[in-house]
Each structure stands twice: as C-alpha cells, then as structure tokens.
Chains A and B, each alone.
Chain A
Amino acid sequence: MTSEECDLAFDQLERAMNEAGLAWVTTQVAEDLRFGKTRTKRLSVREEKSDRFATELLGVSRRSNVTVSATEPYSSEEKLRMLVRALEQTTVAIDRMEGVIRNRINRVTETQEWRSIQLVRSDEPDREAVVIHSTATIGRSEKVTELDKLLKALRERI
C-alpha cells in the first residue's frame, strides 16, 4: 500500500469505528499519534561555560556526544497499523478474553448451573453492567472470526 492509500484507509476505518461507538478507541489512538514515537538521538553538544576552564586545562575537546530522548511523527503505515491493532484489541481480543473467562467459570462449576457474569462499576451508576453469558452469543463469535480474518488481510497489505 502507498502512503496515500494508508491515509485513506485510516480515515475510512476511523470513521467506521466512530460510527460503531468506538470513539473512545480512536481518541486514544489520536492522542498517541499527536505525541509521536519516542526515539533516542545522539547529539554533539558544546561544554557549559563553567566547564571550559577545566576542559582547556585537560586539553580535551569542548564538544561531547550525549544521548537524548526525542519524538518523531509516525509514518502513514505505522498510523494504520496502530489503528488496526486498536480495533483488534476491542473486538477480537475482547471476544477471546470473554471466552477464556467463560471457560474458567465452567471448569470450576462443572456440576453447578450458572447464568452470567456481571461486571459492575459503582463509579458509573448510569452505565449498565458488562454481562458475559454462560454461552457465547450466537452469531457474534462467527462475526468476530470474520473480522479477525479481514483485519489480518489488511495488515498483510500495509
């Protein structure tokens, strides 16, 4: 994919995620992109005035190399990869995590019926509890698998 294609794909994916209610995800990604990626740089710096007398006495150069941290912008390809990973985490990874939790409860309660797991937040009383039912929602896991394949195909093209 060219940089232009990556930028177009990023915009389209970001819009689709926002429309699906994942604005909190695209906001997190946007914050990261604004900050840039951290890199270390080697700089040649002039000695401080206070050090000059000592360095002149010792006869060493007044310039020295130092390593500093800096940021640089992400490339178009990196931006798209970051957004694809964010989408994977909030759809595919979450679905797989729910599966692990369900299996864990099933193993402990082999002889006992259970209905659901409720994840309750007392600091957000208006928000409904996240509910994981004892059996996976019919159809959703297939959709997640399909999305997983599509995202892998996109990643291979970046």
Chain B
Amino acid sequence: MPPLPDLLAQIEAAIGPALSPSLTAASAGSDVFEAYILSIIIDAAEAEGATITFRNVDGSAPTVFTFRTSPGHLWSTAQPYTHAELQFPGVPLLETHMGVYVSGRSGLIHEADILVLTSDEAQLCRQNFVPPRSHRSIIAVECKFYASNLKIGLARAFVGLCSDLSSRECYFVTNASSISVEKLLTHQRRKWQSPVEPAAPGVVERFRNSVQDTFKDYKTMYVD
C-alpha cells in the first residue's frame, strides 16, 4: 500500500478523469439517479411478465431517448419526451413517465419524479392538456440523490405529498441514508428504500421486489 501522501495525490489526480463531464451541478446527479430508478422499475415490470416498449410523446420509437428530469406536463411537446409502455398480458396498458405533474385529492398539482399510470389516463391528459389524476396512477416515486446525509425536511415533505396523492403506492427512494428520515417514514407507514445504488445489490433487489409486488397486485385486479 502506498504511503498516505502518495495515495492522496493519486486520488487527486484520478478525480477529474473519472468525473462525468456534466456532473458539476447537484441536479445532474439527481437526473442520473432518477433514470437509474426508472430502469429498476422497468426491470420489475419485465420480471412480472410485462413487454416493454419505449415511445416518444408523438408515438414514434426513439433513437434518442429524452427524459424530463424537472417537472413538466405529461402532454408537453416542447421536446420529444420519451416514456416506457408496460404491457402485461390481458390487462390495460401502463405508461411510465419521468418528471411529470400529477393532481392530488385536493385538486392541487404536485410533482412526481417517476409516475406509473394507466395509458388511458395518459391519453386523456395528452388529448385535453391536463395533468393525470393520482388515483389513476399505480406508482409514484420521489427520488433523492444526495452526496451526504438527507435532511429531515425531505421526509416531512414526502409525508405531506403522500397524504394528497392516491396512487396505489408512493415510494421515497434515495442513494443516501439518514436514521431520522428512515424513522419518520417508518413511523408514518410510508414506503422508503435506501441506499439504492449499484454497490448495494441487496437493497436494489428489495426495491425491485417491492415494485414487482405492486405490479402483481395491479394484474390481479383484472383476474376473473
């Protein structure tokens, strides 16, 4: 093992070349994290038997995938935004969107980092330029990418958000850890997963299984 000053010098020299060019803003880390969580949700759907297709807002098949990471309207055509279609055999089609507005029980409009909803509802939104209603969504996910510990205020905000959303499941998913956040969410009986990151395969698996379970329940609703 090299002496400490040499080790630190090697780390110093390695940081720049290892860094993703666009990662010099906090939001860039969050963007990649949201897309990563979307991948896990799609994995869960596939494991439960769904056929996956990506579509742009105009219905075309993408060669460049454009995902919205700050909230916008599901029907927006400002960019050729991409979503994933999840088709389980014999049940209505689902769509998965990133960074969209959703309306809650109170009629207030909230932001969902990831939203899985029925395709019928998404069509209604695209035709009428309205945000989807949360009771027509299966999964809403709040994603938090933090380099250090999470602040308790994030958990409080999530508890408030969940009280107005009537999605089948709401998840708080983060790469970071915080005992106080985890205690509050557990006490409030909210679903959370952390730290979700590639170096923690057990946690990733737990999250994937939990999402897969939600898809199983959705399918069961349509069994005669």
Contact = CB atoms under 8 A, between A and B. Distances in A.
Interface of A: 1, 5, 9, 12-13, 16-17, 20-22, 24-25, 28-29, 31-32, 38, 82, 85-101, 103-105, 108-109, 112-124, 127-132, 139-140, 143-144, 146-147, 150-151, 153-154, 157
Given A13-B11, A28-B146, A29-B148, A94 B29 contact: yes
Given A90-B29, A91-B18, A104-B39, A16 B11 contact: yes
B27 A124 contact: yes
B186 interface: no
A113 B63 CA distance: 6
Interface bracket on B: 35 or more
B146 A9 contact: no
A63 to B, nearest CB: 28
Given A12-B8, A86-B147, A130 B32 contact: yes
Nearest to B73: A122
B122 to A, nearest CB: 19
A58 B210 CA distance: 52
Contact of B180 (A22, A38, A104, A150): A38
Interface in B147-206: 147-149, 175-176, 179-180, 197-199
A104 B64 contact: no
Contacts of B81: 120
A122 B145 CA distance: 19
Interface in B32-74: 32-36, 38-40, 42-43, 52-54, 61-72
A13 B11 CA distance: 8
Given A29-B148, A144-B18, A119 B67 contact: yes
Contact of B197 (A16, A93, A101, A151): A93
23 contacts: A16-B12, A24-B26, A28-B148, A29-B148, A38-B179, A89-B147, A91-B20, A92-B199, A93-B199, A96-B198, A97-B197, A98-B32, A113-B63, A115-B63, A119-B34, A119-B69, A121-B69, A124-B70, A130-B20, A130-B32, A130-B69, A146-B18, A157-B4
Contacts of A5: 4
A96 B20 CA distance: 11
B91 interface: no
A114 to B, nearest CB: 5
Contacts of A140: 17-18, 20
A89 B197 contact: yes
Given A96-B199, A122-B72, A32 B148 contact: yes
Nearest to A113: B63
A119 B11 contact: no
Contact of B32 (A16, A86, A94, A104): A94
